[in-house]
Amino acid sequence: MSSSQTHTNGGAALSGALGFLVFNELASGFTQGFYTPLIPDIAHALNVNDAAITWFLTAQSLAAAVCVPLLSRLGDMFGHRRMLRIAILVVVVGSVIVALLPSFPVVLIARILQGPIAVWLPLEVAIIHGRASGQTARTGIGLLVACLTGGAIVGTVAAGLVNAHSPSLIITLVVPVLVQAIAVYAVFVKIPESPIRTPGNIDVPGFVGLAVIMLALLGGLTLVGKGGVPPAESIGILLAALAAGAVWVLWELRASSPAIDVRLLASRRAAPIHITGFMLGLVMFGSQSPLTTFLSADPQRTGYGFAASSSRISLVVAAITLLATLGSALVARIAKLTSMRWTLVLGTLLAMASCIFVVVAHTSMWQVWVYAVIAGFGMGLLMGGLPALLAERTPEGQTGASVGVYNSLRSLGGSTGGALFGAVLGALTPVGSKTAGLDGYLIMWGLCAIAFLIGAVGLLTLRRSAATTAAR
């Protein structure tokens, strides 16, 4: 059966299952947004200090970096729905253990089990792209990303509301399990299997090497950003990871069935998308914490900021997230008027313009709102459009692995941004002060603008591929 026949015959099955795929991403976003507001309560219940509880988030992100490329590749080989079922069940087990709060070491193991939640999206993108193309696939992928973002907002709000009226923290932590139970029903009953398989062997050394490299890179960047170890030791970890990465690339180029198709990853039809995804993660995740500290700074003492309360800060963050959700949902419609490439270039230019604007204008709160609206919408276009375009430009049978690598690189970009911006603000903090100088924030936003400029230039080098032409 040809690719076009597969897409045509599978379109009807996909249209009926799209709502359930969308709910899966709502559940994913809900779960990922639910735990963050509860971290102080979880630390108190487990009797751990502020430094130790940071591993509650770090353990899950490191596990995600390891499992996303592996499960995505296995999905290409053995079926994306099959791997999605396994990933959802593992996450549910981890969520149940977290809800019971047995002990801190056991909870960290449970958070590792929740790592595969990050692979839900790449597997779902592969399911959509295996049964649809063009506008249908782009709309579906955009909805998935929009619901992931929207679900995170709902989860964050729900955590506060439920915990305020819950008789115990354990009952509060059961809520994500209930949401995930519906996702289990959806993936086992309502979602079709992808029709395309990629034969081959499992490159065990390749996956093990990739896991070690991702752990070292993310771990080293996390430690640099938090100052958890001396800088020389952190830099040594990063250099060792880069050296291991060079050896890994040589292995993958010679492997008959590589874990990751390095040639595709570095090709002109995919590399600019991955680079832009890395830059998006660098800004989107790396600048979150500095934005909150800038808003909360007392202008009478620091000369900048708005002495914003946590509720006011949450409104700004919510505005960015809501506009990103809107941009992700509209990306297919905008691309229909021009092209996906130009839509993504528009997203990078809007995000870059917002960063330049806040460098120039940052003394009034309305200026921050302008920044939030423009940056949120621009990043939303990138969030929804980048994985859709990458899926179109990836050969059949490699979609899951390709989008999985994109997700991992975006996470790596977030860790890089956190370390980079932390170093910039730390270097420009006056001696004896705990508050960074204004120049640190201006340089940070300038670096964000440069990151989006790099993404725009890369996207402009993309050539129209046969897959993209067929999709249009």
What is the tens place of the pLDDT at every residue in 29-47? 999 888 878 888 888 899 9
* Lookup result for tokens 């941004």: 417
3-state class (DSSP) for residue 1: coil
Residue 365 in tokens:
């709160």
312 and 166 inside one domain: no
Q: What are 184-232's pLDDT values in tens digits?
A: 998 898 888 877 777 777 888 888 888 888 888 877 776 765 555 566 7
Say whether both 247 and 348 belong to one domain: no
Q: What's the pLDDT score for residue 365?
A: 93
Shared domain for 213 and 274, answered yes or no, is no
Quote the pLDDT of residue 14.
Answer: 58
User: Is 292 domain-assigned?
Assistant: yes
- Asked if residue 375 belongs to a domain, the reply is yes
User: Which residues constitute the domain of residue 221?
Assistant: 204-258
Confidence of residue 179 (pLDDT cuts 50, 70, 90): very high
Does the pTM of the predicted model rise above 0.75?
A: yes
pLDDT tens track for 93-113: 999 999 999 999 999 999 999
pLDDT recorded at residue 469 = 42
Say if residue 381 is in the same domain as residue 296.
Answer: yes
More confident residue, 238 or 178: 178
Asked if 323 and 382 sit in the same domain, the reply is yes
Domain final residue pick, 258, 277, 298: 258
For residue 154, is it within any domain?
Answer: yes
- pLDDT tens digits, residue range 400-440? 778 888 888 888 888 788 878 887 887 888 777 777 889 98
**Residue 242 lies inside a defined structural domain of this protein:** yes
Question: Do 175 and 252 have their domain in common?
Answer: no
Supply the DSSP symbol for 118. G
Residues 387, 328: Cα–Cα separation, whole Å? 11
53 and 152 belong to one structural domain: yes
Q: Are 188 and 324 found together in one domain?
A: no
At 351-404, the pLDDT tens digits run 999 999 999 999 999 999 999 999 999 999 999 999 889 888 887 777 777 888
Instruction: Give yes or no: residues 223 and 114 share one domain.
Output: no
Name the burial class of residue 429, with classes exposed (0-12), middle (13-18) and buried (19+) by CB atoms within 10 angstroms of its CB. middle
pLDDT of the residue at 33: 85
Phi, psi of 364 (to 5 degrees): -130, 150
Q: What pLDDT, on a 0 to 100 scale, did the predictor assign at position 233?
A: 76
Task: Count how many domains the chain has.
Answer: 3
Of 222, 237, 258, the last residue of a domain is 258
pLDDT of residue 472 exceeding 60: no
- Summarize the confidence of residues 69-87 as an average pLDDT: 89
- CATH number for the domain spanning 34: value is 1.20.1250.20
Give the tens place of pLDDT for each residue, 241-285. 899 999 999 998 888 878 778 888 888 888 999 999 999 989 988
* Residue 467: predicted pLDDT: 42
Would you say residue 199 lies in a domain?
no
Same-domain check for residues 247 and 271:
no
CA distances from 394 to 152, 389, 401, 434 (A): 28, 9, 10, 48
- Shared domain for 48 and 172, answered yes or no, is yes
Q: Does 254 share its domain with 271?
A: no
Instruction: State which of 152, 174, 194 marks the end of a domain.
Output: 194
3-state secondary structure (DSSP) of residue 229: coil
Structure tokens at 94: 């981890």
Per-residue pLDDT at 1: 42
Percentage of the residues of the chain whose pLDDT score is greater than 70: 91
Percent of the chain topping pLDDT 90: 32
Residue 118 corresponds to which tokens in the numbers above?
């990050």
Helix/strand/coil for 442 = helix
| pLDDT given at position 411 | 81
Q: Which has more pLDDT, 138 or 452?
A: 452
d(CA 194, CA 313): 42
